[in-house]
Amino acid sequence: MARKDVCTEAGQIAIPSDLTDAHPLVVATQAAAKGMRFDEVHGKQGLDVAKKHLDIRVSPEQFQLALRICSALIYATESMGAKWVVDDNSDTWVLYGAHRMRVCLIEKMKKVIWPHEPPPRLKAAAKTRPNWKAMHPRNKLAGTGLMEFKVLSYVGPGIKGRWGDEKHSLENEIAAIVAGIPLVAAAGRAHDEDLRVQAIARAEKRQTRVNDARRAEIKKILRERLIQAARSWQKAASIRAYRTAVAKHFQNMNLLAADQLKLDLWLDWANVQADSIDPLHQDLTALTDNEVSLSADFDNKVQHSPGSGPP
């Protein structure tokens, strides 16, 4: 249910005059600012990083107004089903439907020169000189009073994702932001769906390349296995031919019994060696086996070699 202080009147959403009944996230952000100094480098109100808070980047002069704007905006968007979440990094997210978008409220800053104190007058007998480099003017940031609400996530072409400028103060843009959140969410969902479809297509393309590479690698291994078997068969035939030639050479010689025994043992050994490398003397399954086991990281290597086709 919408609160009374954020009701819509003539297309506008009123901003509460104080933070008496502010949203819990606004209260937490206000607590994170207690005791924190002004951030001179970034020109914004300091916030305790140890405490979760809304992503508000404004000067101390605009901090209270920014809190009241956020309170009105959060209550108004929650009344239409949105949910605001602050993560551990104090990034602010708006969840609408099945989409979430990161948002922030910032103030445009301007550079301001902060001069140093003039150097002291040197005494006539002084041997040291002042550090003139340290006395150069320093540039710091200061607020301009122009605040802007931005969607930091994907917005999409033709969809407004930032509100508040010189012509339209952010206080008068609350209703426009509330109306724009569903449009940004719809564009974001469509974009997420496109990314999902593209990711699926890329995954299918990678898998196709992996499958092609696996088939090519298996064919290569089987071809090399066949060539190796043919070479082994040729070697076995060569050994047998050599054994036959040796046996024929010593066939008609009257060898001593001891020499004949050595020859017979060698001929038997040569037969065993030929049989051990001859694929025709192996099991038929081993000879015709087409099962190939690729390395465990084969698919990973193919996937991490962009642009390379199947081996």
Q: What is the pLDDT of residues 218-273, one digit of tens each?
A: 999 899 989 999 999 999 999 999 999 999 998 888 888 898 899 999 999 999 99
Residue 185 resides in a domain: no
Residue 21 resides in a domain: yes
Indicate if 162 and 211 belong to the same structural domain: no
Residue 271 resides in a domain: yes
Kindly tell me if the per-residue pLDDT of 84 is higher than 60: yes
Residue 182 resides in a domain: no
Task: Let me know if 73 is exposed, middle or buried by CB neighbors in 10 A (0-12, 13-18, 19+).
Answer: buried
Q: Which residue has the tokens 């000067």?
A: 59
Kindly tell me if the per-residue pLDDT of 124 is higher than 80: no
Indicate if 79 and 136 belong to the same structural domain: yes
Q: What are the pLDDT digits (tens) for 134-183? A: 555 567 777 888 999 999 999 989 999 999 988 889 999 999 999 999 99
Mean pLDDT over all residues of the chain? 85
| 3-state class percentages of the chain: helix first, strand second, coil last, to nearest 5 | 50, 15, 35
Q: Which residue has the tokens 């298996």?
A: 218
pLDDT value, residue 307: 57
Indicate if 168 and 203 belong to the same structural domain: no
Indicate if 156 and 205 belong to the same structural domain: no
> pTM value?
0.67
What are the strands, taking DSSP E only, across the chain? 8-9, 12-13, 38-39, 44-45, 56-57, 83-86, 92-96, 99-114, 138-151, 162-163
Domain tally for the chain? 2
Indicate if 40 and 149 belong to the same structural domain: yes
Contacts of 73 (CB under 8 A, 6+ apart): 13, 149, 174, 177, 178
φ and ψ of 83, to 5 deg? -135, 135
pLDDT value, residue 132: 58
Residue 186 resides in a domain: no
Residues 178/180/182/187 CA torsion (nearest 10 deg): -160
Kindly tell me if the per-residue pLDDT of 310 is higher than 50: no
Residue 243 resides in a domain: yes
Indicate if 15 and 164 belong to the same structural domain: yes
Give the whole-angstrom CA distance, residue 231 versus residue 229: 5
Q: What are the pLDDT digits (tens) for 277-292? A: 998 888 877 778 888 8
Domain span holding position 60 = 4-172
Percent of the chain with pLDDT over 70: 86
Residue 180 resides in a domain: no
- The residue from 172, 190, 225 where one domain ends is 172
Indicate if 28 and 120 belong to the same structural domain: yes
Residue 64 resides in a domain: yes
